[in-house]
Amino acid sequence: MKAIVVNGPHDMRIEDVERPSVRKDDDVLIRVRAVGVCGSDMHILHGDNPFVSYPRVMGHEVVGEVAGFGSAVTGLDVGDHVVVEPITYGDNSYAVRRGMPNVSEDLKVNGVHVDGGEQEYLVVRHRQVHRIDKRVPWTTAVLAEPYTIAGNSTMRGHVGAGDTVLVQGAGPIGIAVLRIARAKGASVMVSDVVDDKLDFALANGAERVVNTVRENLVDAVSEWTNGEMANIVIDAACLPQTFQASFDLASVAGTIVVLGMNTTPVGIPQKPIMAKQLTVVGSRLQAFQFDPIIHMMESGLIGDDGLVTHVFDYKDAQKAFDLLDAHPEQVKKLVLTFGA
Protein backbone atom coordinates (compact mmCIF):
# COMPACT_ATOMS: atom_id res chain seq x y z
CA MET A 1 0.00 0.00 0.00
CA LYS A 2 1.02 3.66 -0.31
CA ALA A 3 2.03 5.94 2.53
CA ILE A 4 3.19 9.56 2.59
CA VAL A 5 6.43 9.24 4.54
CA VAL A 6 8.38 12.20 5.94
CA ASN A 7 11.91 10.82 6.17
CA GLY A 8 13.31 14.03 7.64
CA PRO A 9 12.89 17.81 7.33
CA HIS A 10 11.95 18.80 3.75
CA ASP A 11 12.08 15.15 2.65
CA MET A 12 8.60 13.81 1.94
CA ARG A 13 7.98 10.87 -0.39
CA ILE A 14 5.07 8.63 -1.34
CA GLU A 15 6.39 5.12 -0.65
CA ASP A 16 5.26 1.52 -0.88
CA VAL A 17 5.02 0.14 2.65
CA GLU A 18 3.65 -3.04 4.16
CA ARG A 19 -0.08 -2.91 4.82
CA PRO A 20 -0.72 -3.12 8.58
CA SER A 21 -2.92 -5.90 9.92
CA VAL A 22 -4.96 -6.69 13.00
CA ARG A 23 -2.62 -8.24 15.61
CA LYS A 24 -4.11 -7.47 19.03
CA ASP A 25 -7.61 -8.22 20.32
CA ASP A 26 -8.58 -4.56 20.41
CA ASP A 27 -6.99 -3.52 17.09
CA VAL A 28 -9.14 -1.91 14.43
CA LEU A 29 -7.94 -1.79 10.81
CA ILE A 30 -9.10 1.33 9.02
CA ARG A 31 -9.20 2.03 5.29
CA VAL A 32 -8.28 5.70 5.39
CA ARG A 33 -10.55 7.99 3.32
CA ALA A 34 -9.55 11.55 4.26
CA VAL A 35 -6.94 13.34 6.36
CA GLY A 36 -6.94 17.01 7.30
CA VAL A 37 -3.67 18.94 7.27
CA CYS A 38 -2.96 21.21 10.23
CA GLY A 39 -0.32 23.88 10.91
CA SER A 40 1.58 21.47 13.17
CA ASP A 41 2.03 19.09 10.19
CA MET A 42 3.86 21.86 8.35
CA HIS A 43 6.20 22.16 11.36
CA ILE A 44 6.93 18.43 11.03
CA LEU A 45 7.73 18.92 7.33
CA HIS A 46 9.99 21.88 8.12
CA GLY A 47 11.79 20.12 10.96
CA ASP A 48 10.67 22.47 13.71
CA ASN A 49 8.24 20.28 15.65
CA PRO A 50 10.10 19.36 18.87
CA PHE A 51 7.92 16.29 19.58
CA VAL A 52 8.35 14.41 16.30
CA SER A 53 10.80 11.66 15.35
CA TYR A 54 11.53 10.61 11.74
CA PRO A 55 10.66 8.79 9.59
CA ARG A 56 7.03 9.65 10.28
CA VAL A 57 3.68 9.25 8.52
CA MET A 58 1.79 12.42 9.46
CA GLY A 59 -1.95 12.86 9.92
CA HIS A 60 -3.93 13.27 13.14
CA GLU A 61 -7.23 14.40 11.54
CA VAL A 62 -8.28 11.04 10.13
CA VAL A 63 -11.51 9.43 8.91
CA GLY A 64 -12.09 6.14 7.17
CA GLU A 65 -13.96 2.86 6.95
CA VAL A 66 -13.60 -0.10 9.25
CA ALA A 67 -11.82 -2.87 7.32
CA GLY A 68 -11.29 -5.40 10.13
CA PHE A 69 -10.93 -5.78 13.89
CA GLY A 70 -9.69 -8.02 16.68
CA SER A 71 -11.72 -10.51 18.69
CA ALA A 72 -12.35 -8.17 21.66
CA VAL A 73 -13.94 -5.44 19.53
CA THR A 74 -17.70 -5.08 19.81
CA GLY A 75 -20.15 -2.58 18.34
CA LEU A 76 -18.36 -2.09 15.01
CA ASP A 77 -19.01 -3.56 11.58
CA VAL A 78 -16.81 -3.72 8.52
CA GLY A 79 -17.74 -0.72 6.36
CA ASP A 80 -18.70 1.56 9.28
CA HIS A 81 -17.57 5.14 8.83
CA VAL A 82 -15.35 6.23 11.70
CA VAL A 83 -13.36 9.17 13.03
CA VAL A 84 -10.00 8.35 14.61
CA GLU A 85 -9.18 9.83 18.01
CA PRO A 86 -5.45 10.34 17.50
CA ILE A 87 -4.20 9.81 21.05
CA THR A 88 -3.25 6.81 23.17
CA TYR A 89 -2.22 6.68 26.81
CA GLY A 90 -1.81 4.13 29.56
CA ASP A 91 -4.36 3.56 32.30
CA ASN A 92 -2.39 4.48 35.35
CA SER A 93 -1.27 8.06 35.80
CA TYR A 94 -2.37 11.02 37.88
CA ALA A 95 -3.64 12.72 34.70
CA VAL A 96 -5.84 9.74 33.84
CA ARG A 97 -7.19 9.56 37.40
CA ARG A 98 -8.03 13.30 37.15
CA GLY A 99 -9.92 12.75 33.88
CA MET A 100 -7.19 14.42 31.80
CA PRO A 101 -5.62 11.55 29.80
CA ASN A 102 -4.68 14.13 27.17
CA VAL A 103 -1.81 15.32 29.41
CA SER A 104 -0.67 11.89 30.56
CA GLU A 105 3.14 11.49 30.63
CA ASP A 106 2.86 8.50 28.31
CA LEU A 107 0.59 10.27 25.79
CA LYS A 108 1.28 9.36 22.18
CA VAL A 109 -0.24 11.26 19.27
CA ASN A 110 -0.76 9.59 15.91
CA GLY A 111 1.11 11.50 13.24
CA VAL A 112 3.59 12.90 15.76
CA HIS A 113 4.99 10.26 18.17
CA VAL A 114 3.67 7.29 16.17
CA ASP A 115 2.48 7.02 12.57
CA GLY A 116 -0.72 8.77 11.59
CA GLY A 117 -3.31 8.59 8.85
CA GLU A 118 -1.53 9.72 5.68
CA GLN A 119 -1.50 6.15 4.35
CA GLU A 120 -4.06 3.86 2.77
CA TYR A 121 -4.58 1.70 5.87
CA LEU A 122 -4.01 2.35 9.56
CA VAL A 123 -4.37 0.19 12.68
CA VAL A 124 -5.49 1.88 15.91
CA ARG A 125 -6.92 0.72 19.22
CA HIS A 126 -10.68 0.22 19.55
CA ARG A 127 -10.84 3.05 22.12
CA GLN A 128 -9.59 5.45 19.40
CA VAL A 129 -12.45 4.70 17.02
CA HIS A 130 -15.70 6.71 16.94
CA ARG A 131 -18.49 5.80 14.55
CA ILE A 132 -20.04 8.59 12.47
CA ASP A 133 -23.20 8.60 10.36
CA LYS A 134 -22.49 7.69 6.71
CA ARG A 135 -24.42 10.77 5.61
CA VAL A 136 -21.66 13.06 6.90
CA PRO A 137 -19.28 13.56 3.94
CA TRP A 138 -15.64 12.51 4.49
CA THR A 139 -14.40 16.06 3.97
CA THR A 140 -16.73 17.28 6.73
CA ALA A 141 -16.16 14.37 9.12
CA VAL A 142 -12.44 15.12 8.97
CA LEU A 143 -13.14 18.40 10.81
CA ALA A 144 -14.17 16.46 13.93
CA GLU A 145 -10.64 16.54 15.35
CA PRO A 146 -10.13 20.32 15.08
CA TYR A 147 -13.63 20.77 16.50
CA THR A 148 -12.61 18.67 19.51
CA ILE A 149 -9.87 21.23 20.24
CA ALA A 150 -12.68 23.77 20.46
CA GLY A 151 -14.78 21.36 22.52
CA ASN A 152 -11.95 20.97 25.01
CA SER A 153 -11.07 24.66 25.29
CA THR A 154 -14.71 25.69 25.79
CA MET A 155 -15.09 22.86 28.34
CA ARG A 156 -11.97 24.08 30.18
CA GLY A 157 -13.43 27.62 30.15
CA HIS A 158 -16.84 26.33 31.34
CA VAL A 159 -18.47 28.23 28.47
CA GLY A 160 -22.24 28.20 28.90
CA ALA A 161 -25.46 29.94 27.94
CA GLY A 162 -25.40 33.68 28.52
CA ASP A 163 -21.61 33.98 28.81
CA THR A 164 -19.64 36.54 26.85
CA VAL A 165 -16.65 34.92 25.13
CA LEU A 166 -13.77 36.70 23.43
CA VAL A 167 -11.91 34.52 20.92
CA GLN A 168 -8.55 35.98 19.92
CA GLY A 169 -7.56 34.77 16.44
CA ALA A 170 -9.88 33.72 13.60
CA GLY A 171 -7.81 30.91 12.10
CA PRO A 172 -9.41 27.46 11.78
CA ILE A 173 -9.10 26.86 15.53
CA GLY A 174 -10.57 30.26 16.44
CA ILE A 175 -13.49 29.65 14.06
CA ALA A 176 -14.08 26.18 15.53
CA VAL A 177 -14.05 27.70 19.04
CA LEU A 178 -16.52 30.36 17.87
CA ARG A 179 -18.89 27.70 16.46
CA ILE A 180 -18.77 25.54 19.58
CA ALA A 181 -19.12 28.48 21.98
CA ARG A 182 -22.19 29.60 19.99
CA ALA A 183 -23.55 26.04 20.09
CA LYS A 184 -23.14 26.15 23.88
CA GLY A 185 -25.25 29.31 24.01
CA ALA A 186 -22.59 32.00 24.50
CA SER A 187 -22.29 35.38 22.76
CA VAL A 188 -18.95 35.61 20.99
CA MET A 189 -16.64 38.44 19.95
CA VAL A 190 -13.67 37.60 17.70
CA SER A 191 -10.47 39.58 17.19
CA ASP A 192 -7.89 39.22 14.42
CA VAL A 193 -5.60 41.40 12.34
CA VAL A 194 -6.99 40.34 8.93
CA ASP A 195 -10.37 41.67 7.71
CA ASP A 196 -11.20 38.60 5.56
CA LYS A 197 -10.84 36.33 8.59
CA LEU A 198 -13.12 38.59 10.60
CA ASP A 199 -15.73 38.57 7.81
CA PHE A 200 -15.62 34.76 7.96
CA ALA A 201 -16.09 34.93 11.75
CA LEU A 202 -19.16 37.14 11.27
CA ALA A 203 -20.56 34.64 8.77
CA ASN A 204 -20.01 31.92 11.39
CA GLY A 205 -21.98 33.61 14.15
CA ALA A 206 -19.68 36.16 15.81
CA GLU A 207 -21.76 38.92 17.34
CA ARG A 208 -18.99 41.48 16.98
CA VAL A 209 -15.52 41.40 15.39
CA VAL A 210 -12.51 43.61 16.04
CA ASN A 211 -9.47 44.23 13.87
CA THR A 212 -6.85 45.03 16.51
CA VAL A 213 -4.72 46.89 13.96
CA ARG A 214 -7.39 49.59 13.81
CA GLU A 215 -9.33 49.27 17.07
CA ASN A 216 -8.34 49.16 20.73
CA LEU A 217 -9.45 45.74 21.93
CA VAL A 218 -9.90 46.66 25.59
CA ASP A 219 -12.22 49.52 24.61
CA ALA A 220 -14.13 47.32 22.15
CA VAL A 221 -14.67 44.53 24.69
CA SER A 222 -15.70 47.05 27.33
CA GLU A 223 -18.25 48.64 24.98
CA TRP A 224 -19.56 45.21 23.85
CA THR A 225 -20.05 44.00 27.43
CA ASN A 226 -21.26 47.30 28.93
CA GLY A 227 -18.07 47.57 30.97
CA GLU A 228 -18.12 44.02 32.38
CA MET A 229 -15.40 42.63 30.03
CA ALA A 230 -15.37 39.07 28.63
CA ASN A 231 -16.39 36.24 30.95
CA ILE A 232 -14.13 33.84 29.09
CA VAL A 233 -11.13 34.78 26.95
CA ILE A 234 -9.93 31.99 24.65
CA ASP A 235 -6.58 32.78 23.05
CA ALA A 236 -6.48 31.07 19.65
CA ALA A 237 -3.85 33.48 18.31
CA CYS A 238 -1.35 32.16 20.87
CA LEU A 239 1.08 35.06 20.69
CA PRO A 240 2.91 36.46 23.73
CA GLN A 241 0.98 39.74 23.32
CA THR A 242 -2.45 38.10 23.00
CA PHE A 243 -1.77 35.98 26.10
CA GLN A 244 -0.63 39.06 28.02
CA ALA A 245 -3.61 41.13 26.88
CA SER A 246 -6.04 38.46 28.10
CA PHE A 247 -5.61 39.59 31.72
CA ASP A 248 -7.06 43.04 30.90
CA LEU A 249 -9.78 41.60 28.65
CA ALA A 250 -11.28 39.16 31.18
CA SER A 251 -14.15 40.11 33.49
CA VAL A 252 -14.24 39.62 37.25
CA ALA A 253 -14.61 35.92 38.05
CA GLY A 254 -13.51 35.35 34.45
CA THR A 255 -11.50 32.53 32.87
CA ILE A 256 -8.57 32.69 30.46
CA VAL A 257 -7.99 29.63 28.28
CA VAL A 258 -4.43 29.17 26.99
CA LEU A 259 -3.96 27.09 23.81
CA GLY A 260 -0.47 28.24 22.82
CA MET A 261 2.88 26.58 23.29
CA ASN A 262 5.04 29.68 22.82
CA THR A 263 7.96 29.75 25.27
CA THR A 264 8.59 33.51 25.31
CA PRO A 265 8.10 34.81 28.88
CA VAL A 266 5.68 37.72 29.29
CA GLY A 267 5.24 40.03 32.28
CA ILE A 268 1.94 39.42 34.10
CA PRO A 269 1.24 41.41 37.28
CA GLN A 270 -0.45 39.61 40.17
CA LYS A 271 -3.17 42.21 40.72
CA PRO A 272 -5.66 41.37 37.92
CA ILE A 273 -5.52 37.69 38.85
CA MET A 274 -6.16 38.43 42.53
CA ALA A 275 -8.51 41.40 42.23
CA LYS A 276 -10.73 39.78 39.57
CA GLN A 277 -10.17 36.27 41.00
CA LEU A 278 -9.34 35.01 37.53
CA THR A 279 -8.99 31.36 36.56
CA VAL A 280 -6.21 30.66 34.05
CA VAL A 281 -6.36 27.22 32.43
CA GLY A 282 -4.45 25.38 29.74
CA SER A 283 -6.12 23.33 27.04
CA ARG A 284 -4.12 20.64 25.23
CA LEU A 285 -5.67 18.55 22.47
CA GLN A 286 -8.84 17.06 23.96
CA ALA A 287 -10.31 14.54 26.36
CA PHE A 288 -13.70 12.88 25.85
CA GLN A 289 -14.74 15.39 23.17
CA PHE A 290 -15.15 13.15 20.09
CA ASP A 291 -18.58 11.74 20.91
CA PRO A 292 -20.25 15.10 21.67
CA ILE A 293 -18.60 16.72 18.63
CA ILE A 294 -19.68 13.88 16.31
CA HIS A 295 -23.19 14.17 17.73
CA MET A 296 -23.21 17.91 16.91
CA MET A 297 -22.01 17.09 13.37
CA GLU A 298 -24.62 14.40 12.82
CA SER A 299 -27.37 16.74 13.98
CA GLY A 300 -26.13 19.51 11.65
CA LEU A 301 -25.28 21.95 14.45
CA ILE A 302 -21.72 22.15 13.12
CA GLY A 303 -20.36 21.16 9.74
CA ASP A 304 -18.06 22.27 6.98
CA ASP A 305 -19.25 25.87 7.32
CA GLY A 306 -16.81 26.99 4.61
CA LEU A 307 -13.78 25.72 6.53
CA VAL A 308 -12.60 23.18 3.93
CA THR A 309 -11.21 25.31 1.11
CA HIS A 310 -8.94 22.76 -0.64
CA VAL A 311 -9.21 19.02 -1.34
CA PHE A 312 -6.31 17.10 -2.97
CA ASP A 313 -5.90 13.45 -3.84
CA TYR A 314 -3.07 12.07 -1.65
CA LYS A 315 -0.97 11.43 -4.78
CA ASP A 316 -0.78 15.23 -5.12
CA ALA A 317 0.43 15.69 -1.52
CA GLN A 318 3.56 17.55 -2.65
CA LYS A 319 1.40 20.08 -4.56
CA ALA A 320 -0.81 20.45 -1.50
CA PHE A 321 2.09 21.11 0.89
CA ASP A 322 3.72 23.48 -1.65
CA LEU A 323 0.46 25.47 -1.74
CA LEU A 324 0.37 25.63 2.06
CA ASP A 325 3.99 26.84 2.07
CA ALA A 326 3.54 29.45 -0.67
CA HIS A 327 0.02 30.75 0.05
CA PRO A 328 -1.09 29.88 3.59
CA GLU A 329 -3.45 32.87 3.47
CA GLN A 330 -5.52 31.16 0.72
CA VAL A 331 -6.15 28.00 2.77
CA LYS A 332 -8.44 27.50 5.72
CA LYS A 333 -8.49 23.68 5.90
CA LEU A 334 -6.80 21.48 3.32
CA VAL A 335 -7.87 17.84 3.09
CA LEU A 336 -6.05 14.92 1.43
CA THR A 337 -8.34 12.17 0.17
CA PHE A 338 -7.51 8.49 -0.20
CA GLY A 339 -9.97 7.13 -2.76
CA ALA A 340 -12.86 9.04 -1.16
With binding defined as CB under 6 A, does residue 41 bind ligand NAD? no
- The residue range among 5-13, 126-134, 231-239, 246-254 that interacts with ligand NAD, by the rule CB under 6 A, is 231-239
Q: Which is nearer to ligand NAD, 241 or 277 (CB)?
A: 241
Q: In the chain, which ranges are E strands?
A: 2-8, 11-16, 27-37, 56-57, 61-69, 81-84, 87-88, 108-109, 121-125, 129-131, 164-168, 187-192, 208-211, 230-235, 250-258, 279-282, 308-313, 333-337
Rounded Cα distance between 164 and 177, Å, is: 13
Rounded Cα distance between 135 and 141, Å, is: 10
- Applying CB under 6 A, the site for ligand NAD has a residue count of 26
Task: Work out how close the CB of 260 gets to ligand NAD at its nearest, in angstroms, rounded to a whole number.
Answer: 5
Rounded Cα distance between 138 and 81, Å, is: 9
Judged by DSSP in three states, 19 sits in coil
Calculate the CA 5 to chain-centre distance: 22
Q: Which is nearer to ligand NAD, 189 or 237 (CB)?
A: 237
Q: Are 323 and 25 in contact (CB under 8 A)?
A: no
With binding defined as CB under 6 A, does residue 218 bind ligand NAD? no
Q: Which is nearer to ligand NAD, 66 or 245 (CB)?
A: 245
- The residue range among 178-186, 269-277, 283-291, 315-323 that interacts with ligand NAD, by the rule CB under 6 A, is 283-291
Rounded Cα distance between 328 and 188, Å, is: 26
Q: Which is nearer to ligand NAD, 39 or 339 (CB)?
A: 39
With binding defined as CB under 6 A, does residue 85 bind ligand NAD? no
Rounded Cα distance between 198 and 177, Å, is: 14
Q: Which is nearer to ligand NAD, 114 or 193 (CB)?
A: 193
Rg over CA atoms, the chain? 20
Rounded Cα distance between 65 and 120, Å, is: 11
Rounded Cα distance between 117 and 233, Å, is: 33
Given CA atoms 225, 230, 231, 234 in this order, what sign does their dihedral have?
positive
Rounded Cα distance between 215 and 220, Å, is: 7
Q: Which helix (H) or strand (E) holds 294?
A: helix 290-298
Among 20, 192, 246, 250, binds ligand NAD (CB under 6 A): 192
Q: Which is nearer to ligand NAD, 70 or 240 (CB)?
A: 240
For residue 188, the one-letter residue type is V
Q: Which is nearer to ligand NAD, 313 or 325 (CB)?
A: 325
Task: Work out how close the CB of 135 gets to ligand NAD at its nearest, in angstroms, rounded to a whole number.
Answer: 27
With binding defined as CB under 6 A, does residue 236 bind ligand NAD? yes
> Which residue's Cβ lies closest to ligand NAD?
171
Rounded Cα distance between 257 and 286, Å, is: 13
Calculate the CA 309 to chain-centre distance: 16
With binding defined as CB under 6 A, does residue 259 bind ligand NAD? yes
Task: Work out how close the CB of 171 gets to ligand NAD at its nearest, in angstroms, rounded to a whole number.
Answer: 2
Q: Which is nearer to ligand NAD, 184 or 197 (CB)?
A: 197
With binding defined as CB under 6 A, does residue 29 bind ligand NAD? no
* Residues 299-328: x where in contact with ligand NAD by CB under 6 A, - otherwise, as a string: ------------------------------
Per CB under 6 A, contacts with ligand NAD among 143-182 are 149, 168-174
With binding defined as CB under 6 A, does residue 39 bind ligand NAD? yes
Among 113, 125, 158, 284, binds ligand NAD (CB under 6 A): 284
- The residue range among 12-20, 114-122, 185-193, 291-299 that interacts with ligand NAD, by the rule CB under 6 A, is 185-193
With binding defined as CB under 6 A, does residue 283 bind ligand NAD? yes
Residues that bind ligand NAD (CB under 6 A): 39, 149, 168-174, 191-194, 197, 212, 236-239, 241-242, 259-260, 283-285
